[in-house]
Amino acid sequence: MIPAQPPAVRRLLATARAARFRAERATAGRGAGQGAGRAQGLLEPVHLSVRDSRTLNLAVAALPDERIERAHLLVSRGHRRFRVPLAFERHARGGLLLAGTATLRNARDVPGEADALAGPRLGEGVWRLTVVTADARGRVQRRGIGLDRATEPPLTPTLPHAPDPRTGTLVRVVRCRGGRAVLQVTRSKPRAELLRFVPGGDGITVHGRLVRTSRGRRWRAKAVRRRDGVTVPVGAMWDGTEFSFALPLAQMAGAGPGQWVWDFHVEPETRGAPLPLGRWLTDVRDPAAACPTPFRVFALPGGSLIRAHAHFTKSGAFALTCWDISKETS
């Protein structure tokens, strides 16, 4: 895992990354206007989207007077270049439509699985999108893809972009200053991702996995009381980067009288920053509203009755509210 860094170092790295993205977007947007050498204007996309940071979908309308024999989309960053074939389709409004789909990969793909995928393998940074066409005489034209100036999108239950659910890498379409559309790839921070939690008659079992952490390290989990930071260790079972554990409801309810809210962290046994557990790799805008959960009463093996509410916060963190109600029901 990436070792813990002082806040000043983290701020410096974040500032450097933001500056690098700005510089790359400025470079990628050059040559998009008139008189730009090889680029000859911008094509208006009929459709351009990236689904779950994994699937790139593109459709652009060819100019009416063009006699295109073959076409492809060039995805490039520096000296790295990938070709995506574009098929010829009939536009609903008449004319020729160039359409293509590509499965995007990144450096965190599992080698065996990545080899079976046909598509560009994109590292972090800004990638140019260029439509390359050739006519019967072999004359080649290269055009960027235009993107309208961004307007404030209406609020919906989902965000406009979603990270890769396996690796956490975020790939999104952004607009350069010159109006050119590019792909911006941002890798994820180390995360503890909640897969599911399963209520039973005597407790709750949590299943999760680690994202973008080094293999071979030993990890542990803990519950942290939100108000005062009291911690309760959690005995987790590990299978590589995946883990599961039963919530220690008895110890959590016995840590103090009254009703308390607990968060959960996964941390390395040696030096390293704790990772809050939550549903982070999603496009749901408000997990608390989208995934409401009921309060439940659990009968523990010792005879205690615990009223608990496992839920998501608005930010996506996994939390639990619990209260020992044995006295109230006796």
Give the residue with greater pLDDT, 322 vs 36.
322
pLDDT value at position 211? Answer: 94
Give the residue with greater pLDDT, 69 vs 8.
69
| CA pair distance 70, 146, nearest whole angstrom | 21
CATH of span 191-329:
2.60.40
Helix (H, G, I), strand (E, B) or coil at 22: helix
| pLDDT tens digits, 261-281 | 999 999 998 888 899 999 999
pLDDT value at position 103? Answer: 93
Please report which confidence band the pLDDT of residue 108 belongs to, taking 50, 70 and 90 as the band edges: low
- The verdict on pTM exceeding 0.85 is no
Report the mean per-residue pLDDT for the chain.
Answer: 85
Scored b (16 or more CB within 10 A) or e, 277-293 reads bbbbbbbbeebbeeeee
| pLDDT tens digits, 29-82 | 776 444 333 445 789 899 999 999 999 999 998 877 678 889 999 999 989 999
End-to-end CA distance of the chain: 49
Please list the residues that pair with 55 across neighbouring strands. Answer: 51, 103
The DSSP element (H or E) to which 210 belongs, if any, is strand 204-211
Domain boundaries, the chain: 7-29+39-186, 191-329
Give the residue with greater pLDDT, 138 vs 51.
51
pLDDT value at position 33? Answer: 44
